[in-house]
Amino acid sequence: MSTTRAERLVNLVLCLLSTRQFLSAERIRGIVPGYADALSDEAFFRMFERDKTELRDLGVPLEVGKTQSFETTDGYRIARRDYELGDIDLEPDEAAAVALAARLWDSPQFTGAAHGALIKLRAAGVDVDQDVHAAVEPKVRTSEPAFPSLLAAVQAGQVVEFDYRRPVATDVATRTIEPWGVVAWRGRWYLVGHDRDRGAARCFRLSRVVGEVRTVGKPGVVQRPEDVDLLSFVATSQRDAPPSAPTRLWVAKGRAHGLRRRARLVGEQVVEGEPGDLVEIELRFPDSAAKWIAGFGPDVLVLEPEVLAKSVRERLLGALSTQRGAEVGR
């Protein structure tokens, strides 16, 4: 953009802020420096339309109306109370929180906007120190390919359709959703919304969306229920598993350190000539326990419960038969 355009836009804002009357496009053309450069009416109106769009995109509240009822064309002005950021005064610890919040995002959608917010707060007289030291520095990325289009649909209130892969199903299914919000929870992004096919509220992991997100119908259609708390909706859908029964294992001496970290030593035993320890362990996530234990191969054996011993055995048998039947490139 040329310097003159930026200058023209600043002058336009100052002019419209200073007037109480609505100024017609023609009046503005005569007053604000830069518009006189337009060689024809058509060129001027094109220029003025572009400028109005740009100001609206920046969040400048352009009012359109007539000062007197007999006027034939609409005019423009900016109401100061709609334009100006309200008074704000932050204590040093609050300003430090704001600085930290502004650098939370590693996101093309939010990093720039957070910086813009910071600049406006500083312009309101708040001192926000960039180099504030934080006890913990949280970082949030929005790298899932589906993120930008789902965020846009949420903000536009537009229905979406996408292919979704369920964790254990063999195929993808197309879902049609009225999106209410995007939620990051424990490092993963979810879409929360009304699932039209199931007639109920559901949440979807963005990493399981396959391919493009398609919008359906017009913007402004989706109504988010007022009582829905997006964060708790996702949190309760991802409930922790209950603690399991006590587990006793045999662990070969000096092996499986990752498991020993969480275990309590209760005895010793030699198995198949191999010295080992008997340990007890509390398994917080029983679903993944068999996978974890099977991974240690002959270094860890399950004494009890029997159901865990069985499922570890099944995994090992599965690994063996699958691998034996495989053609391996050598």
**How many CB atoms within 10 Å of residue 318?**
11
223 binds other proteins (CB under 8 A): no
220 binds other proteins (CB under 8 A): no
Give least dist CB 151 to other proteins, A: 7
Give least dist CB 73 to other proteins, A: 19
Q: Of the candidates 38, 100, 132, 216, which one interacts with other proteins according to CB under 8 A?
A: 100
244 binds other proteins (CB under 8 A): no
> Rounded to whole angstroms, what are the CA distances from 261 to 35, 216, 256?
74, 52, 9
Specify whether the CB–CB gap between 104 and 140 falls below 8 A. yes
Span 9-68, contacts to other proteins by CB under 8 A: 9-11, 13-15, 17-18, 31-33, 54, 57-60
Q: Of the candidates 46, 188, 253, 264, which one interacts with other proteins according to CB under 8 A?
A: 188
106 binds other proteins (CB under 8 A): yes
Q: Of the candidates 87, 199, 220, 225, which one interacts with other proteins according to CB under 8 A?
A: 87
Q: Of the candidates 20, 72, 186, 200, which one interacts with other proteins according to CB under 8 A?
A: 186
Cα(44)–Cα(12) distance, rounded to whole angstroms? 14
In sequence order, which residues have a C-beta less than 8 Å from that of residue 164 and are 6 or more positions away?
172, 173, 174, 175, 204, 208, 209, 210
In sequence order, which residues have a C-beta less than 8 Å from that of residue 291 and are 6 or more positions away?
315
Question: 252 forms bridges with which residues in the sheet?
Answer: 276
98 binds other proteins (CB under 8 A): yes
200 binds other proteins (CB under 8 A): no
